[in-house]
Structure 1
Amino acid sequence: MHTIYEKRGKGNMPLVFIHGVANRGGPKYDAGVKARDALFRQFLLGSHRRSDGTAVQIVNPYWGHLGGRLRWNGASLPAGDNVEKLGSEKEALAELYASALLMGDFEPSDHAILPVARRSLSDAVDLLWAASVIDADPDDFDEVDDFAALGAFAYAYASANPSPDWLAAVADDDDLLDRLEIEVATYASRKHADNTETLGLGSKVKGVWGTIRAGATKLKTAATGGVGRKASDLIRPAFVPGVVGFLGDVFVYLHQQNSAGSIREEVSKAIKSAAASVEEDDRLVIVAHSMGGNIVYDLLTSDLTTTQVPLLITAGTQVGFFEELKLFAKSDEAVPTKSRPKVEMPSNIERWINVFDYSDLLGFRVAPIIDGVEDFDFPTGSLLNAHGQYFLQPGFHQRLAARVLSKS
């Protein structure tokens, strides 16, 4: 498998991931980090290793404990007395399921995966992998490398076979998973027999499928709760918590700014530490999701202007929108003008890829605002409209890695 810097012949590549809004610590958060790191190593980092053979360093600074906190537990949100108050993991599952409904013209049923698979098998794979991480425990991902490798195989198979003939005979979600397991195993064996490159799939794949099935069960529970209701009726309860979390963290960040112990300070320390560990052949990569992109850009244009970043990747971020409002510490009120139609790319950023999707209400373009940024739009209708689940989907990682390698 190609690595992100194979064409450049570079050495180690430390990666810093800055999470977005509404992330709060705990075992569930830790499980998501484990899965996300494994997917980065499977796709973007490939088989890349340090010079001593150890895994590439991935740094995950956590700032959620400094974000917004509703003192009345969200009592200000419009809701009836009979509205169920969901936990953050249940909200994430509801968001994911509502996103799946929005992709098609079907209504809620007790089949959570099958309708998606019949529209797009690759979207179903993304849905399964993301759902298996949500509300999981770190112990569920003891074989996290196999989880990522199987995701790569499953997505590759689904991409090569978007509408297989066998899908018409599948009766339900359980039947779908049984058949998908067989087809992916056959596909992987054929690739190996053809002496083409395998993706590092380990020997404990059965356990991984068990994790995937557990995720499907959780998603089915969310789906069952929506039976008899219109898809549109699920949208507000699914997406409002995410919007509230976004607004809360944004307002707190803007209010804190340079305060001691602020979000800004926490992220700055992590980036400085990672940059200090970069050696002669190393290349620092920063990946930022949602509000994380705003924080990183704010820092790289103010406190960290001497920190060199060969590759910055932002996804589902609001940098362009924030710059239009001139909310950053170093925003220049004099831009735009006729002679300066865009903000100049910060000199310490060598390449910047910004990923957005038109169906993600919290993702914005950057290229029309900041010169030199590569806006990368995913097709509308993908699961990326589940704003919080970008980095849990094999399809996202596969296409992001392909985009990066296309100009490496």
Structure 2
Amino acid sequence: MPLVHVHGIGNRAPQDPEHVAVRDALYRQHVLAAMGCDQDKTRVWSPWWGGLVAEPAWGWASLDVAGMERLGGIEEASTAEAAVLDVAAQAGAAEPDRVLVTAAATSLQWAIDIVCGSLVGAEDELREGAAFCGRATAYWAERSDTGRRGDGPAVFPWLAEVGDDTELLERLSAELEAWRPAAVPNTRSAAVGWETFGAAGGVPRAARSVLRRLNSCAATAVTRGGATLLRGRPTRRLALLLGDVMGYFAQRDSAENSSIIALVSEALEEAVGHAQQHGEPLVVVAHSMGGNIVHDVLSYFRPDLQVDLLVTAGTQVGLFEELKLFRASDRLLTGVGGRKVPALPNVSRWINVVDPADPLAFAAARVFAGAEDLNFGTGAWWAHGGYVISPHFHHRVALHAAEGRQ
């Protein structure tokens, strides 16, 4: 079964292969399994469109404010003073070997997501690590009723017995080996992936390697919401994000078929052909700006391409349609009288995932007919970038995908 992942802004091909390997393993173990596919025969397309946006002509000179004549105002802290502030902030944070313990005190799933987002190792090790996190997420979801019964030590008393992150992973592994999941009608296939890899046998190597990566800086991010990471002048990454958005629209509107549109269209066309050849459904997952590009492609440039399940996460499709930024947007169509944009005839089902903690995620169901909004609340400061490497996200999407096949 084919799946096409269309990334958002700020990505270049592929900068983090381990991130991509974990992401694709989670796709295979959850949503593709829920759609009834054999995960060993699936193929994932990833059109890396970010590299097609123009590079800065002056090498980021616009970010350099050193040497400017002062106009007045408050003097910013020097580099040395900033370092002192960071050390002071870290002094009150959790110990380096208790990052996961600190996170789990609020939410066990939070700790699981941190592990999954930090996995390192060879491809097989990453698959086992992702499966371990997937099974842990299913365990958390069943025992806590997806957090509705509470979380942390109140629901998982054994958390109060662990002393550090190593003990937490060991105890979690023991709990998973003893746990027998309850049967859920029509969703059994979603569990195949994590039962095949890493269902037993202790903590996977890739998960153990996470402990070496977590340090006092990570502890600060977990316990203080990353405040020190967000302080200061705009960075190259932020500039890249803004540049990708404006670069896409400038490129799209300067030619009937931009190189970005062409690249994404080609990947979708290949996946459609693969799906038709094997008699399988096609799944498309689009994150952030990727959702806007996919909507442009399916609604205007390539309405002939048929998609069975479209999942958008942390996207601005609803907002962009309200602002009439798409090529297919009808400026005369508004929400007056409860009207909506007609559902795309070439998309069988559209699930739009919104994390309320994500400032770049917008609802779609009140603007588009046929869109289903799914609230995925994490409360995390990294919400926008965390969807596709969160086993909880994949678990939830898989459940909804399975419901659609009943």
1:393–1:327 distance in 2 versus 1, CA, 3 Å: same
User: Does structure 1 residue 217 correspond to structure 2 residue 212?
Assistant: yes
What is residue 393 of structure 1 aligned with on the other side? 390
How many Å separate the matches in 1 of 2:80 and 2:61? 13
What is residue 177 of structure 1 aligned with on the other side? 169
1:337–1:321 distance in 2 versus 1, CA, 3 Å: closer
**Letter of the 1:250 counterpart:** V
What is residue 111 of structure 2 aligned with on the other side? 124
1:351-402 deviation digits (Å, cap 9, x = unpaired): 1110011110111111121122101111352x48431121111111011111
What is residue 330 of structure 2 aligned with on the other side? 332
What is residue 230 of structure 2 aligned with on the other side? 235
**Letter of the 1:347 counterpart:** P
1:176–1:73 distance in 2 versus 1, CA, 3 Å: farther
Aligned residues: 365
**Letter of the 1:65 counterpart:** G
1:17–1:76 distance in 2 versus 1, CA, 3 Å: same
1:305-329 deviation digits (Å, cap 9, x = unpaired): 1112221110000111111221111
Deviation at 1:205, TM superposition (A): 6.6
How many Å separate the matches in 1 of 2:226 and 2:102? 13
How many Å separate the matches in 1 of 2:305 and 2:139? 41
Deviation at 1:120, TM superposition (A): 1.1
Which of 325, 329, 341 is 2:339 aligned to?
341
Deviation at 1:218, TM superposition (A): 2.0
1:169–1:339 distance in 2 versus 1, CA, 3 Å: closer
* Matching of residues 396-407 of structure 1 within 5 Å: 396-407=393-404
1:16–1:349 distance in 2 versus 1, CA, 3 Å: same
* Matching of residues 97-176 of structure 1 within 5 Å: 107=93, 109-110=95-96, 111-132=98-119, 136=120, 140-159=122-141, 160=143, 162=151, 163-176=155-168
Deviation at 1:348, TM superposition (A): 1.4
1:32-70 deviation digits (Å, cap 9, x = unpaired): 2221111111111228446xx951222222212113644
What is residue 62 of structure 1 aligned with on the other side? 48
What is residue 16 of structure 1 aligned with on the other side? 4
Q: Say what the alpha-carbon RMSD is for the aligned residues.
A: 3.6
**Contiguous gaps of at least 5 residues in structure 2:** 66-75, 82-88, 145-150
What is residue 305 of structure 1 aligned with on the other side? 303
Q: Is this contact kept in 1: 2:2–2:283, CA < 8 A?
A: yes
How many Å separate the matches in 2 of 1:239 and 1:107? 26
Deviation at 1:335, TM superposition (A): 1.4
1:147–1:309 distance in 2 versus 1, CA, 3 Å: same
1:335–1:227 distance in 2 versus 1, CA, 3 Å: closer
Deviation at 1:206, TM superposition (A): 6.5
**Contiguous gaps of at least 5 residues in structure 1:** 1-12, 85-97
1:229–1:359 distance in 2 versus 1, CA, 3 Å: closer
What is residue 357 of structure 2 aligned with on the other side? 359
**Letter of the 1:289 counterpart:** H
Q: Is this contact kept in 2: 1:61–1:267, CA < 8 A?
A: yes
**Letter of the 1:170 counterpart:** V
Give SS of 1:336's match.
coil
What is residue 72 of structure 1 aligned with on the other side? 59
What is residue 7 of structure 1 aligned with on the other side? none
Q: Is this contact kept in 1: 2:312–2:353, CA < 8 A?
A: yes
Deviation at 1:231, TM superposition (A): 5.4
Moved more, 170-179 or 291-300: 170-179
What is residue 279 of structure 1 aligned with on the other side? 276
* Matching of residues 186-225 of structure 1 within 5 Å: 186-187=178-179, 199-202=194-197, 209-223=204-218
Q: Is this contact kept in 2: 1:108–1:223, CA < 8 A?
A: no
1:310–1:33 distance in 2 versus 1, CA, 3 Å: same
1:79-128 deviation digits (Å, cap 9, x = unpaired): 977399xxxxxxxxxxxxx9xx9xxxx95653321111011112211121
Deviation at 1:204, TM superposition (A): 9.7
Q: Is this contact kept in 2: 1:286–1:312, CA < 8 A?
A: yes
Give SS of 1:365's match.
coil
Per the normalisation by structure 1, the TM-score is 0.77
Give SS of 1:313's match.
strand
1:68–1:217 distance in 2 versus 1, CA, 3 Å: farther
1:132-158 deviation digits (Å, cap 9, x = unpaired): 2xxx4xx53333432232122222233
Q: Is this contact kept in 2: 1:351–1:373, CA < 8 A?
A: yes
1:80–1:330 distance in 2 versus 1, CA, 3 Å: farther
How many Å separate the matches in 2 of 1:264 and 1:64? 12
What is residue 312 of structure 2 aligned with on the other side? 314
Per the normalisation by structure 2, the TM-score is 0.78
User: Does structure 1 residue 268 correspond to structure 2 residue 260?
Assistant: no
Bigger Rg over Cα: 2
**Letter of the 2:205 counterpart:** G
How many Å separate the matches in 2 of 1:177 and 1:254? 46
Q: Is this contact kept in 2: 1:357–1:385, CA < 8 A?
A: no
Which of 9, 24, 36 is 1:37 aligned to?
24
How many Å separate the matches in 2 of 1:169 and 1:176? 9
Give SS of 2:324's match.
coil
How many Å separate the matches in 2 of 1:41 and 1:229? 34
